[in-house]
Amino acid sequence: MNTEKQTYTLDELCALVDMNKRTIRYYIQQQLVPRPEGKNRGAHYHKTHIERLLELKKWQAAGLSLERIAELLNSPDKLDIPLKPVQQGSVELWSHLMISDGIQLLIEPGRSQLSSEQIRKLSQQILKAYQAITNEEQK
């Protein structure tokens, strides 16, 4: 089956991206997701809709606002996204990896531009490296 030409109903799209209809319609209204082809019951969605919704979901999970996500989506070169400077009074969510007493790694997911899986792998590698260093000194 050619997935490039495959179409999905709104119900199918909701199931594929694990979002409700109201949220998807809101994203379309806010121009974060392209409009479907067709109208009313004849409306259908494509792979590009799925990809965009999953991208939105990823960035929201990283703590980005819809305003910032819109900026990222409209950026001509998503690989070189200029980060907004931290402003007084802004709120950021940071991940803390406790390596040992007095040693921790701080990661701000939105600024790091790493997925949660990449952050998890980085954390595991850092912990392994720390354990290897401390094991060497104990010998």
- Take residue 77 and report the two structure tokens written for it: 């070169």
| 59 and 103 belong to one structural domain | no
Task: Give how many domains the chain has, as a whole number.
Answer: 2
DSSP letter at 41?
Answer: G
| Same-domain status, 73 and 22 | yes
Predicted confidence at residue 74, as pLDDT, reads: 75
Query: CA 116 to CA 64: how far, in whole Å?
Result: 13
Chain segment 50-65, per-residue pLDDT in tens: 989 988 888 888 778 8
Residue 114 CA to residue 123 CA, distance in Å, equals 12
DSSP secondary structure, 8-41, as one string: B-HHHHHHHHT--HHHHHHHHHTTSSPPPBS-GG
Which whole number is the average pLDDT over 117-139?
88
pLDDT at 1 over 50: no
Same domain, 29 and 65: yes
Question: pTM of the prediction?
Answer: 0.53
